[in-house]
Structure 1
Amino acid sequence: MADWAADVKIYRPNADEAAIEGLLKTYRLVMSSQDSAYVAFSDKDEVETVKTNFLQKKLGLTESDAALDAALDEVKETMKADRTKSRITVYYLLAEKFGKLGLFH
């Protein structure tokens, strides 16, 4: 099994351990599948699903689609060197950007 916390720490060395654990607990089933453990930013449908299901539903964000798309693009750019983009890392970076890491404590 991959070390998802170590992956988050590539981008945030001082990452919030409790938030990582909360994300892992919340998304344990998703992360157990090789296919769903990673976000394919090249797949528009998947990016739309992340926006709808994670940003809007899970985090409760009401920002405009343009603002949410910009946040997704920012995370994509941050992780561009990483061929496999861990869903936990993507979600952590997004939750951090919007000040929502506390939801996973």
Structure 2
Amino acid sequence: MSKFDEKVELYTKFMNEKNLSFDADLLTAVTKGLGPSIYKRDAETVSGSDPKELETVKKNFLIKKLGLEDGPSLDEAIAEVVEQIGKSERNKYRAVVYYLLTKKFGKESVYAK
């Protein structure tokens, strides 16, 4: 099994443990879109309490990648996803956070092949 497949398996297991329903193909596509960052411990997770980190998620993912307009709804969506995963959960995997945000905004087409 490749390192990439191991990461997808880890995120799949995580989502199953959290009882989050998901589309495995989309999760794989989102994970692939993150590139080598998934192999770096610090970059692999999102800090739900760090305003600078949350701003990065908003600017680099929601606005640049998904093409959304900046506004309070983006911050609210990020807060909802952090809540959904669990504020006390230490491992808020970036792939899972981005997957949930992609679904929330109905932007699956960004990852369509």
Q: TM-score, normalised by structure 1?
A: 0.88
More helix by share: 2
- Gap regions ≥5 residues in structure 1: none
- The residue number in structure 2 matching 1:48 is 55
Distance in 2 between residues matched to 1:68 and 1:11, nearest whole Å: 24
Partner of residue 36, structure 2: 29
Q: Shift of the alpha carbon at 1:23?
A: 1.0
Unaligned runs of 5+ in 2: 1-5
Length, aligned pairs only:
103
Greater relative contact order, per chain length (Cα 8 Å cut-off, separation 6+): 1
- Give 2:15's aligned amino acid: V
Instruction: Name the CA distance, whole Å, in 2 between partners of 1:17 and 1:39.
Output: 21
Q: State whether residues 20 and 104 of structure 1, in contact with CA within 8 Å, keep that contact through their aligned partners in structure 2.
A: no
For the aligned residue pairs, the C-alpha RMSD in angstroms reads 1.6
Superposition map of 1:4-19 within 5 A: 4-9=11-16, 10-13=18-21, 15-19=22-26
Q: 1:74 pairs with 76, 80, 85, which one? A: 80
Q: Which residue of 2 aligns with 1:97?
A: 104
**Runs of 4+ in structure 1 over 4 Å off:** none
Residue type at the aligned position of 1:8: M
Query: Structure 1 residues 44, 4: closer, same or farther in 2, change over 3 A?
Result: same
